Amino acid sequence: MKVIGLWAMLTIVLYALQTSLLTFVNFDGFSANLLLLLIVSVAFLRGHKYGIFFGFIAGILQDLTSGSYFGLATFSYMTIGFVFGKFSVNLFREQALLPVIGSIPALAFHFAIVIAFLFMLDKQIDAVKLWRFDFWPTAIMQVVLAYPVHKIVCELNEYAKKHR
């Protein structure tokens, strides 16, 4: 129960950080996505099942509080949790650089899903501009923050293993 509470607390704190403190460092309205880093780290460390689960919880939290299209973040995070969890089977899970490197394709995946959904919802969006001017600054912020997030997730994972 305590472990679940710590995971929940971590998720909420990361989301709160993402939507408050990190918005001071934004590029064209885009700032780092800590929930995405959390999902990628969890998916790499604990596989696709946990990836999907954390994707669902984090996505629901974001969808409920952000006021964006409900389910969009949930679907995207679940998919990313599933995909990166599946990939983790063939990789050495304890490698620290893994989530740092994985943060860029994860963000690309997230952008692609969001653009696809917006396209399906018939919403006009300048996808080219988004990829050229908004993706790379956000990706840099993701890379910078990926390691600290991964380190916290690793510590909590170790703690959870000990108190299972």
Binding interface with other proteins (CB under 8 A): 12-13, 15-17, 19-21, 23-24, 52, 56, 59-61, 64-65, 69-72, 74-75, 78-79, 117, 120-121
CA pair distance 87, 81, nearest whole angstrom = 10
Taking the complex as a whole, the smallest distance from the CB of residue 8 to other proteins amounts, in Å, to 9
Burial grade of 78 (CB within 10 A; 0-12, 13-18, 19 or more): buried
Q: How far is CA 38 from the centre of its chain?
A: 5
Least distance from C-beta 114 to other proteins, angstroms?
10
Q: Closer CB to other proteins, residue 121 or residue 125? A: 121
Whose Cβ is closer to other proteins: residue 15's or residue 44's?
A: 15
* Shortest Å distance, C-beta 121 to other proteins: 5
| SS3 assignment, position 58 | helix
* C-beta separation of 8 from 121 below 8 A: no
Q: Which is nearer to other proteins, 72 or 100 (CB)?
A: 72
The gap from C-alpha 80 to its chain's centroid, in whole angstroms, comes to: 8
Token pair recorded at residue 163:
């108190």
Residue 38 Cβ, how far from other proteins at the closest point, in Å?
Answer: 15
For other proteins, which is the closer residue by CB, 70 or 136? 70
